[in-house]
Amino acid sequence: MTKDNILFGIVGLLAGLIIGFFVTNSLNKQQGFGAVSAQSPATQTGTLPPGHPDVPPGSTAGDQQSAGANAPEVQAAIAKAKAEPDNFDAQIKAAEFYYQIQRFDGAIEFLKRANQLKPDDYETVVHLGNANFDSDKYDEAEKWYSLALSKKPDDVDVRTDLGLVFMFREPPNYDRSIQEFKRSLEYDPNHPQTLQNLTVAYTKKSDAANASATLAKLEATDKSNPAISKMRTDIDALKTK
């Protein structure tokens, strides 16, 4: 799984998380702390698969998802996957369509079938982590990301997203997030998504010194990052408390 940079919308201490799937690495979340996913965006607001007819004005996200699920190409992919349960590629294709319309439970169902056919397929394991994350199933997401990292411990993107799991779950475990982000930086000290997430985690822990130091590294690596000014404001606010 490969990744492009994704920036969470920033509200309060950075909010609004966008994550993706079968494109270049990312997760899909609609709430957050300003953390940045290490994997790339598929859709931000439930957009339909490429080539799908436009949804009439005024339609809701749920309408779009229903329309997407009923699209001929989606139905054909699902039918093929069900008719050919031993066809790995068919399971992946059906899961991809379900993910594009943000029907994550459907995506998980077919990804699990694919995983049963090819338990050692690394990308499928990572996708299962992503789909469970987007379904708010953080325990499951942790399980699949951890399995992926047992196979490829130097995957900085997946380890960074594992760190995000501990930021989003209730209650958050910022210490564990920081641990995973630090491990990611051992492999890639200038990984911008990890640096941004680590800055946020330190800020959430009210650790202004480490947050400032990490933000300085982020600025040196990714000075055009639009989240920097907001993160600096949040860190400065900690210093005045």
Provide mean pLDDT across the span 47-69. Answer: 41
- What the block records as the tokens of 164 is 């995000």
Q: Using CA atoms, how far apart are residues 112 and 124, in angstroms rounded to an integer?
A: 8
Please say whether the beta carbons of 21 and 41 come within 8 A: no
Per-residue confidence (pLDDT) for residue 74, from 0 to 100:
84
- What the block records as the tokens of 71 is 């699209």
Q: Using CA atoms, how far apart are residues 219 and 35, in angstroms rounded to an integer?
A: 15
Looking at the predicted structure, is the pLDDT value of residue 183 above 90? yes
Per-residue confidence (pLDDT) for residue 9, from 0 to 100:
28
Provide mean pLDDT across the span 35-46. Answer: 48
Provide mean pLDDT across the span 70-90. Answer: 90
Looking at the predicted structure, is the pLDDT value of residue 26 above 60? no
Evaluated on CA atoms 59, 61, 62, 63, the torsion sign reads positive
Q: Using CA atoms, how far apart are residues 185 and 212, in angstroms rounded to an integer?
A: 16
Mean pLDDT computed over every residue of the chain = 78
Provide mean pLDDT across the span 17-45. Answer: 40
Looking at the predicted structure, is the pLDDT value of residue 209 above 90? yes
pTM over 0.85: no
> Which of 24-28, 149-153, 228-232 is modeled with the greatest confidence?
149-153
Please say whether the beta carbons of 107 and 99 come within 8 A: yes
**For residue 35, what pLDDT band results from cuts at 50, 70 and 90?**
low
Provide mean pLDDT across the span 13-39. Answer: 39
**For residue 60, what pLDDT band results from cuts at 50, 70 and 90?**
very low
**For residue 157, what pLDDT band results from cuts at 50, 70 and 90?**
very high
Looking at the predicted structure, is the pLDDT value of residue 14 above 90? no
Question: Which residue in 118, 60, 54, 130 sits closest to 90, CA to CA?
Answer: 118
Per-residue confidence (pLDDT) for residue 36, from 0 to 100:
58
Provide mean pLDDT across the span 18-47. Answer: 40
How many beta carbons lie within 10 A of that of residue 115, not counting itself? 20
Per-residue confidence (pLDDT) for residue 134, from 0 to 100:
92
Q: Using CA atoms, how far apart are residues 146 and 183, in angstroms rounded to an integer?
A: 13
